[in-house]
Amino acid sequence: MTGTDWDRRVGLGATTGTDWGRLIDFDREHVWHPYAPSPLATASLPVVAASGVRLELPDGRQLIDGMASWWTAVHGYRHPVIDAAVREQLSRLPHVMFGGLTHAPAVQLAERLVSMAPAGLEHVFFADSGSVSVEVALKVCLQYQRNNGHPERRKFLALEGGYHGDTLGAMSVCDPVGGMHRLWTGVVTEQVFAPRPPARSEDRAQWAATIHGLASQHAGKLAAVVAEPLVQGAGGMWFYDPACLSTLREVCDRHGLLLVLDEIATGFGRTGTLFASSAAGVLPDVMCVGKALTGGDMSLAAMLCTGEVARVASGGEAGCLMHGPTYMANPLACAAGLASTELLLSGQWERDVRRIEKGLLESLGPARRVPGVKDVRVLGAIGVVQLDHPVDVASATRDAVARGVWLRPFRDLVYTMPPYITNDEDVAAIGEAVVAAAAAG
């Protein structure tokens, strides 16, 4: 559908004063969208407003957002507490440089994160996106090893099936096939990859032997192990046995490696515990958070590390951590983060995530009988239907939209990560739309 078709169909220009036809056409021709060509092959769907779990389209139609805007809007859109915090901050100090200056929202959010995070993570670096926080995590590990007398420890042991962001350093630790490393030979640093951690505990011993073997073979040049705990998200929505995290900790302890856990997707309750690593009681040396940190209002991420990592990485020749984003610790984003984490402190998220898990288990069940469906899996507020073929994104999306639900499938996956406030009726509607989209795609 072109912009003009859209405009004609819904007759918008006249009622809203916005020439949607022109806007959508310019968007399609000139504006780059995530993982898309430019010009776009398919026109984007315009959104004019959002409230609670619903997105509003220019023609007044409402869609339940089964994606929570890429896993960020855990409390729903325009939550009054987050809204008020951002407005209040806007009236005082929307931004100020963080070099040499500081402000309450940053310090208070750092205190909050330290109190919520697994024990020992006491130093906080604010970054403006998840990918950047991963870059910072990698740098911290490299500076730590160098200052500990191991400049030769420059590589990372990462997991197949992983995803850590789109900047070059983060890309290097993403799944080499899914991350298309063959396009980037000689550009992206070659890292050491271990097989995907298994879902079934019966398969763990063999996997553990493999990763222990890889670590001892490469230990002399490895700085750290990098992994998403429990759920590998954008690399394929793979769930794995929590005990594998203990194996990663053992590998690190045996060979003097740091353990970096990327909780950007899993953090803040998504898998049923506040942080996914808590499910195994494993303590990382370095942790990244992002996505749900501000409840979806603004881009903010953070790298947390232990006192020992901060102390050693800050020493040496550089005498500092070599990173400092222009918009570091943006006060508006920090205010949103404070409000969002405050909402989490009530503990309601835990009951909601359990309730959504139950709802998704029920509503996604019928997908098992859909031809072309290979697997159905649910963990916390994550529901996944995996097909035996690449999904036809356009037709799957169209089918879901026709049912009043927004989904954004990728690869062979139709999935949902809804806001925690999604009520039972809406969870059921999302589940039905996922099943229908899986059948259509």
Ligand X SMILES: *Cc1c(COP(=O)(O)O)cnc(C)c1O
Distance CA 385, CA 400 (A): 14
The three-point CA angle 419-424-426 to 5° equals: 60
Q: Is 234 in the site for ligand X (CB under 6 A)?
A: yes
Which of 142, 265 has the CB closer to ligand X?
A: 265
Query: In the block, which residue shows the tokens 């550089």?
Result: 318
Task: Please pick, among 262, 285, 297, 352, the residue that the annotation labels catalytic.
Answer: 262
Which of 277, 363 has the CB closer to ligand X?
A: 277
Active-site annotation holds for 35: yes
Task: Please pick, among 163, 240, 415, 420, the residue that the annotation labels catalytic.
Answer: 163
Which of 69, 147 has the CB closer to ligand X?
A: 69
- Side by side, the strands of the sheet bearing 301-306 are 121-127, 301-306, 286-289, 258-262, 222-227, 155-159, 192-194
Which one among 58, 105, 130, 169 touches ligand X, defined by CB under 6 A? 130
Strands (E), 57-171: 62-65, 121-127, 155-159
Q: Is 228 in the site for ligand X (CB under 6 A)?
A: yes
Which one among 69, 131, 271, 294 touches ligand X, defined by CB under 6 A? 131
> Quick one: which of 68, 135, 126, 84 has its CA closest to 416?
68
Stretch that binds ligand X, among 181-189, 226-234, 312-320, 429-437 (CB under 6 A): 226-234
* Residue sitting closest to ligand X (CB): 130
For residue 61, the minimal CB distance to ligand X (Å) is 28
Which one among 262, 285, 357, 412 touches ligand X, defined by CB under 6 A? 262
Considering only residues 274 through 293, tell me which ones interact with ligand X, judged by CB under 6 A.
Answer: 290-291
How many of the chain's residues bind ligand X (CB under 6 A)?
Answer: 16
3-class DSSP state of 208: helix
Stretch that binds ligand X, among 260-268, 276-284, 312-320, 387-395 (CB under 6 A): 260-268
3-class DSSP state of 399: helix
Which of 248, 312 has the CB closer to ligand X?
A: 248
Q: Alpha helix locations (H) across 31-148? A: 68-71, 80-90, 104-116, 130-147
Task: Please pick, among 291, 412, 415, 426, the residue that the annotation labels catalytic.
Answer: 291
Q: What is the biggest distance separating any 2 CA atoms in the chain, rounded to whole angstroms?
A: 69
What region does 149 belong to: left with phi over 0, alpha with psi -120 to 50, or beta?
Answer: left
For residue 36, the minimal CB distance to ligand X (Å) is 15
Query: In the block, which residue shows the tokens 């915090």?
Result: 85
Distance CA 231, CA 272 (A): 12
The three-point CA angle 89-55-94 to 5° equals: 15
Active-site annotation holds for 65: no
Distance CA 297, CA 294 (A): 6
How far is C-alpha 424 from the chain's CA centre?
24
Q: Is 335 in the site for ligand X (CB under 6 A)?
A: no
The tokens of 306 are what? 């232990």
Q: Is 233 in the site for ligand X (CB under 6 A)?
A: yes
Active-site annotation holds for 139: no
Q: Is 160 in the site for ligand X (CB under 6 A)?
A: no
Active-site annotation holds for 163: yes
For residue 129, the minimal CB distance to ligand X (Å) is 4
Q: Is 265 in the site for ligand X (CB under 6 A)?
A: yes
Residues contributing to the site for ligand X (CB under 6 A): 129-131, 134, 163-165, 228, 233-234, 262, 264-265, 290-291, 301
Residues tagged active-site: 35, 163, 262, 291
